[in-house]
Amino acid sequence: MSMDSSGMIRAKSPRISELRRLIKVMCNRVVVVVGIGIIAFFILVAIFAPMLAAHDPLYTYLESILNPPSGIHPLGTDQVGRDVLSRLIYGTRISFLVGIFGVTIAGTLGMGLGLVAGYFGGWVNAIIMRCIDALLAIPPIVLMMAISAILGGGLFNVLIAIGFGMMPTYCRLMCAQVTVLKENDYILVLQTAGASSWRIMRHLFINAFPPLLVLITTNLGTAILMEAGLSFLGIGILPPTPSWGAMIYDGRRLLFSNPILSLAPGGAIMLIVLAFNIVGDGLRDALDPKLRGTL
């Protein structure tokens, strides 16, 4: 509680209390907290990678190729003698880059188009949504393979491929939300108050955002998975940059003799995707007004 200029006692700003409530509801569930913990752990690993990794992820120890786990190389070395743990740690950076920027590209493009389509309706909607339908008709992995095949590998091109692959979902969801929301009275009130289309769209966006936030959270995991998939297929991150997907690919021939080469990055992928999905679910439940307070 604090005193304001008029001398009235008032509670903390409602906006902050709402955020607190959201965090509190989410933290009431142990799984969600574990999920957040896992994500936080990986973020820290990505940030402090140079300090955590004992070896240069690209350096080849020619004298110790395919070493089993040992004191010097906790997860052993790969076919060309690179330290697996260090590669795993640096791979976290790539994964988060792909996750964050892939979703940013997909979200910005998709939500922008969806907002425009939903707000203007009519032929604008028809054109945008038919294009999106066409994109949706192609399985995302095929679409991304096609884009990667045309543009070639590399981080930037992978981001574009993932962005386009995930964009249609954002567009559809946004368009559906806006189509419903724009019938609300407060939009008419905004119009009578002389707001421009741009301003009204901003209001619509704020109202349409919560369900999309859930999609963004779970998609962070999906994007990481997609990058791994593309790299596994050999059309993603170019070697020798350490990427989890590429590491699995490299280790696949030695799955029986040296399973750790594939299992370590595979486990990391599984863990991070699981964590994002759990947090996404938790967020969805916490934002659902019908479930408020019951969780």
Partner 1 sequence: MVPILEVKNLRTQYKTESGLVKAVDGVSYYINEQEIVGVVGESGCGKSVTQLSVMRLINSPGEIVGGEILFEGQNLLQFKANGPEMRRIRGAKISMVFQEPMTSLNPVLTIGQQLIEILEVHLGMSRKNARQRVIEMLDLVGIPGASSRIDDYPHNFSGGMRQRVMIAMALLCNPKLIIADEPTTALDVTTQAQLFELMKSMVERFKSSLVIVTHNLGIVARYAHRIYIMYAGRIVEEGSCKEIFRNPRHPYTIGLLKSVPRLDDQEGKRLVPIEGMPPDLIQMPSTCAFLPRCSYSIEQCRVEPWPELRKVEGTKHYVRCYLKTEAWEQCRSHSATT
Give me the residues that bind partner 1 (CB under 8 A), please: 4-6, 8, 10, 13-15, 122, 184-186, 188-197, 199, 203, 206-207
2-3 vs 9-10, strand pairing mode: antiparallel
**In the complex, least distance from residue 203 CB atom to partner 1, rounded to whole angstroms:** 6
Q: Which amino acid is at 227?
A: E
Residue 43 Cβ, how far from partner 1 at the closest point, in Å? 28
Q: Which is nearer to partner 1, 15 or 290 (CB)?
A: 15
H or E, element range at 181 = helix 155-181
- Nearer of residues 123 and 256 to partner 1, judged by Cβ: 123
Nearer to partner 1, 22 or 238 (CB): 22
DSSP SS3 for 75: coil
The distance in angstroms from the start CA to the end CA of the chain is: 27
Q: Between residues 195 and 271, which has the closer beta carbon with respect to partner 1?
A: 195
In angstroms, give the least distance from the CB of 199 to partner 1.
7
Give whichever of 29 and 202 is closer to partner 1, judged by the CB atom: 202
As measured in angstroms, the least distance from the Cβ of 115 to partner 1 is: 16
Using the minimum distance from each CB to partner 1, give the nearer residue, 198 or 256. 198
CB of 239 to partner 1, least distance (A): 47
Token representation of residue 21: 């409530």
Return the H-helix or E-strand segment holding 3.
Answer: strand 2-3
Which strand (E) or helix (H) includes residue 2?
A: strand 2-3
CB of 53 to partner 1, least distance (A): 44
Question: How far apart are the C-alpha atoms of 89 and 69, rounded to whole Å?
Answer: 16
Residues 166, 94: Cα–Cα separation, whole Å: 18
Burial 5-27 (b: 16+ CB within 10 A, else e): eeeeeeeeeeeeeeeeeeeebbe
